[in-house]
Amino acid sequence: MKEDFNNEMKLEFLSKSSNESFARISVAAFASQLDPTIEELADIKTAVSEAVTNCIIHGYDNKQGIVKIISKLKDNEIIIEISDKGKGIENISKAKEPLYTTKPNLERSGMGFTIMESFMDKVDIESILGLGTKITMYKTIKPKQENEEDEYNILIKD
């Protein structure tokens, strides 16, 4: 059974670190159809950056490969799948631990999955050793009226 989505976008690019900002901006532009707040957009961009960077640095180990992004809009939710056909993750629960990294020599904190989980509503990770990894992230964008009410309530409390 195929789900009904309002819109869908597919993007593939080489696993070069210079493409990370391209991916982030492309997904943000697509997400803008839901009229997110600046904060919601920043959350999406940050999570996409972390996922794409993981594909490039860990999935392909800085070798060249393809990173694939599929973004879908359903009602007021964006679903973002970011995948690679790299080496895969041996132990997903270990990889999700804050500060855990397989590349301690790089200026990375080992917080990628923690950051993704804190900025998105839900993050699913699927990985098969030798075949690659797929990260699916979900974020519901609040309707404008709710955001305006939140801002109004904050102003009243101040």
Bridging pattern class, strands 122-128 and 66-74: unpaired
- Choosing from 20, 24, 40, 50, which is the catalytic residue? 50
Residue type, 43: D
3 state DSSP class of 108: coil
Angle subtended at Cα 28 by Cα 66 and Cα 81, rounded to the nearest 5 degrees: 45
With contact defined as beta carbons under 8 Å apart, do 30 and 5 qualify? no
Establish whether 76 is a catalytic residue.
Answer: no
Establish whether 108 is a catalytic residue.
Answer: yes
Establish whether 77 is a catalytic residue.
Answer: no
- Choosing from 19, 77, 108, 147, which is the catalytic residue? 108
Q: In whole angstroms, what is the distance from residue 49 CA to residue 112 CA?
A: 9
- Choosing from 20, 24, 40, 54, which is the catalytic residue? 54
3 state DSSP class of 10: strand
Q: In whole angstroms, what is the distance from residue 28 CA to residue 155 CA?
A: 28
Q: Which residues are catalytic?
A: 50, 54, 108
